[in-house]
Amino acid sequence: MAQWTITYSKDNNTNTLDMQADHKPEMEDAVEHLLAWARENLEKGEFGDGQDKQSSEPAVLLLRHYGITITGIAAS
């Protein structure tokens, strides 16, 4: 199994989180992995402009609740 590095932006900083996968994860998989990590390690808040309040898409939840956007996925 290969190790992949998910690069993300939060609070105007670039951070990374590692993920194990047989092949390069799709963006949706990376979002789910990062969202699960954020739920366990970060305090939930209110971010974004509030337009997608009804959306339950993982990428929208990641932005709205944790202020995180994924910027890349690369092999480690």
Tokens of 65: 């609740």
In this model, does residue 54 exceed pLDDT 70?
yes
37 and 30 Cβ atoms separated by less than 8 Å: no
Cα(74)–Cα(60) distance, rounded to whole angstroms? 22
pLDDT attached to residue 55: 82
pLDDT class for 52, splitting at 50, 70, 90? low
Neighbouring residues of 71: CB distance < 8 A, sequence distance ≥ 6? 7, 8, 9, 14
- pLDDT value of position 50: 63
For the segment 6-26, what is each residue's pLDDT rounded down to a tens digit? Answer: 999 999 999 999 999 999 999
pTM of the model: 0.89
Residue 47 pLDDT: 84
**Residue-range domain boundaries for the chain:** 2-75
Q: How many helices (H) and strands (E) would you count in the chain?
A: 2, 3
